[in-house]
Structure 1
Amino acid sequence: MTIEYEWRGGFDNAALNALHADGFGHPVARTDWRERLERHSLGWVCAWEDGSLIGFVNVVWDGGVHAFILDTVVAQRRKRSGVGSALVATAAQEARAAKCEWLHVDFEERLRSFYFDTCGFKETTAGLIAL
């Protein structure tokens, strides 16, 4: 089976909501992803297998040189198969092509190895205020 990665790919809100529910283990939401992405994102990467959305990552930015990845998600049945790292690599490639100089990510501790070892992010000092 061939997996295709598409920058700013077309998708159906219902399909992306279902993928998020599957990948993150929560009930299916009714988020208007199309509106959200068009308003805030540099772009996004969709991973497709046999016409099904199996992966997604959102690339938001500051309008300048900083891009941030959010919502990296892979269908449960395709986890640990390289889809996530290919999504992030495509996001980095496209952010670089848009003249971004930095790609940031925040993540839970359990994802440390994925982002540092697999995807090549480097540890930095950062701050956070819970709102």
Structure 2
Amino acid sequence: MVEIVDDPFPGIEALNTLWLSAWNGPVAPGYGKVLERSLAHVGAYEAGVLVGFVNVAWDGGAHAFVLDTSVHREHQRKGIATALVARAAELAEARGAEWLHVDFEAHLEGFYRGCGFRGTAAGLMRLGE
């Protein structure tokens, strides 16, 4: 059974194991400091092992941002990511955010629409070009 945990502050080893499975690469150095500044983060654990994670960054005011939605490859398509995003939204609202934003690749549109996000106009600039 998967347990959803608010603000678990997982260790770098646990995050690296998850990131390697979900993203094929390690977590960014210093990620623990990122979590210290986040509005919230949510972990999914099975038998004490981190199998899913989402971070909620914010601007210190009304806007919060879903980042790093991750589920271990062996646990995908079981509703874990949906549960993580739903809990992240609850925490963001409870902690004062009025808006929850997310950026995603085109193949994830159905997932995020299913979580309740709607389309908006936005801009994107690739730095260094």
Matched with 1:51 is: 48
Q: Does 1:129 align with 2:125?
A: yes
- 2:39 partner letter: L
Matched with 1:87 is: 84
- 1:126 partner letter: A
- 2:121 partner letter: T
Q: What is the root-mean-square deviation of aligned Cα atoms in Å?
A: 1.2
Partners in 2 of 1:48 and 1:96 — Cα distance? Answer: 23
Matched with 1:78 is: 75
Matched with 2:59 is: 62
Cα distance 1:8–1:110, how it changes in 2: closer, same or farther (>3 A)?
Answer: same
SS at match of 2:39: strand
- Superposed counterparts of 1:14-25, under 5 Å: 14-25=13-24
What percentage of residue pairs aligned between the two structures are identical?
46
Q: Is the 8 A contact 1:42 1:60 kept in 2?
A: yes
Cα distance 1:17–1:31, how it changes in 2: closer, same or farther (>3 A)?
Answer: farther
- 1:110 partner letter: H
Q: What is the Cα deviation at residue 11 of structure 1?
A: 1.3
Matched with 1:31 is: 29
Partners in 1 of 2:106 and 2:9 — Cα distance? Answer: 32
Q: Which runs of 5+ in 1 are unaligned?
A: none
- 1:18 partner letter: T
Partners in 1 of 2:126 and 2:84 — Cα distance? Answer: 28
Q: Which runs of 5+ in 2 are unaligned?
A: none
- 2:94 partner letter: A
Number of residue pairs the alignment of both structures matches: 127
Q: What is the Cα deviation at residue 10 of structure 1?
A: 3.2
Q: What is the Cα deviation at residue 35 of structure 1?
A: 1.7
Cα distance 1:64–1:29, how it changes in 2: closer, same or farther (>3 A)?
Answer: closer
Partners in 2 of 1:63 and 1:129 — Cα distance? Answer: 23
- Superposed counterparts of 1:79-118, under 5 Å: 79-116=76-113, 118=114
